[in-house]
Every structure is written in structure tokens, then in C-alpha cells.
Chains A and B, each alone.
Chain A
Amino acid sequence: MPTRRQYLQHTLRHSSLTVMTALWAASGLWPELTWAYEKSAFEAQSPANVYKALGLPMPVASKDVWLTAPEIAENAAVVRLSFGCTLPNIRRMMLLVEKNPADLSAMFTLTEWVEPNFTTTVKMAQSTDVFAVAVAADGKAFFAKKEVKITLGGCG
């Protein structure tokens, strides 16, 4: 027969676990998935949902983030984008293409031995805004955006 103390301890432990499980499920933030490939972010269909999936605040427009993209892309299958940030302590940089089937194209996790300065090539479904987002060590997020027009076969 359990004593009163044992009974209370058991109940407390059990109920707090239930509450936490419910909270995790509601927020979609299962702690053990934090370091895995961020599948939900790569499936998100708007920039706002990407930031939400990654637990980031809405980024603010900043002159310290730069993005170089062609104004008109002749080949939408290979659009070369360069982006970077001049602020210190940047921990993460992301590239988003707004009207693609999934917005997040690439995400870079930086260390102190690499500069926030990248170039890569992406596919684009249609003419739209491209975002470069930089996340600092204190969790603040900044962005730069640029519109890229796609020509279909050069005579659309």
C-alpha cells in the first residue's frame, strides 16, 4: 500500500509529464528533433511559416544583409545567387524563394571559421522575390530581398 507521500509524488510526476507532452505536441517542437534535418522548414510554403518552423522571429529588413541576383534569369533551372552579411556573430544564413513549391532552398550553419558570404545556384518556379536571411547569435534575424524575373523560352 503506497504512503500518501509516494502517491503524491507519483501523481505529480505523471501529470507534469502529461502537461509537457501536450505542450510539445501543441507547439510542434519535439526537443529530440531540434538537431535533425529541419523537414518542416523545408516543406513550409511561405517565408512566415519557414521562420515559424525554425522558431525564429520575423526578420527585419537590414542594409547589412546583401543579396546579389540576376534581374532577369534566362534559365530558371540554374539561378546563381550570392548573399552575405556584414554584421558580426552570424550563426545561420538562409536562402528563400517565395513562390517555389517550398520556400526554403538552403540553410547554412556557420562557425567562427567561416565568413557569412555564400554563392549557390537554385531552381525557380516563376518570377518572385528571393530572400537572404541572416540569424545572429542573439537570435535576431535580418533579411534582404530582391525580385528575380523568369523568362520562359526568352519570348514569354
Chain B
Amino acid sequence: MVEPMRIRTQLAGDKLTVRVLMQHDMESGQRKDAVGKIIPAWHIQDVTAQLNGRTVLQAEWGPAVSKNPFLQFVVKSVKVGDKLSLNWKDNRGDSRTDEVTVS
């Protein structure tokens, strides 16, 4: 089940602080289940942020990023009305894209 991201933005001058909460198990691949079998790694692998369709940030994550990851970053040259979209893809091929309008 792919849940939407929670995105909060705060514009100060032309700098936009973005705070994102993603809903994902981020299974590390280290844990074992009740019968001692290793639970395979299942984690977000790629994160992309776009401002008005132009990629501003790309991230690659390993399984060490926490469950339901939090990410904060700062985008420059932003104005009211700009559209910020975020996308993640995990190592099983699931993905999620959410967009917010800067206000």
C-alpha cells in the first residue's frame, strides 16, 4: 500500500524550506522473522525533487534510512505559485509522486 507523502513548505525571501514525511517500512534486510528467515530489504532507493518540472535534487538512499523517512532541504530562487513535486521509488519498483503549490 503506497501512502501519500506529507509535504510542508515555508518560503522566506526566495528560499523554500521543504519538509517531507514519506510513509515507507524501509525494511533493512538485517532482521529475521519468527522462523529465523531473513526479511528481504525493502527500501526507498531514489528520491527526486522538481520545481516547475525541473529537477533540483536527486537522492539515493540505502536501507539505513529510518522507517517513514523524514527529509528536509532548501530550494533557491522560489516564488509564490511555483509547483514543487516529489517522487520516490523503492527497490521493488513501487513509487509515489506528490505535488504542492508554494504559497
Contact = CB atoms under 8 A, between A and B. Distances in A.
B15 A121 contact: no
B64 A102 contact: yes
B46 A37 contact: yes
- Interface SS of chain B: helix, strand, loop or mixed? strand
A144 B69 CA distance: 23
- Interface SS of chain A: helix, strand, loop or mixed? strand
A26 interface: no
B71 interface: yes
A124 B62 CA distance: 13
Interface string B30-47: 100000000000000110
Contact of A105 (B45, B49, B65, B75): B65
Contact of A121 (B49, B69, B73): B69
Given A78-B66, A105-B65, A119 B60 contact: no
Contact of A104 (B62, B76, B77): B62
B51 A119 contact: no
A121 B58 contact: no
Contacts of B51: 113
A123 interface: yes
A-B complex: 4 closest residue pairs judged by Cβ atoms: A119-B72, A121-B66, A105-B64, A115-B74
24 contacts: A42-B62, A77-B66, A77-B67, A78-B66, A100-B64, A102-B62, A106-B61, A106-B64, A107-B59, A107-B61, A108-B57, A108-B73, A110-B57, A113-B56, A114-B74, A114-B76, A118-B72, A119-B73, A120-B71, A121-B65, A121-B70, A122-B65, A123-B66, A125-B30
Interface of B: 15, 26, 28, 30, 45-46, 49, 51, 54-67, 69-77
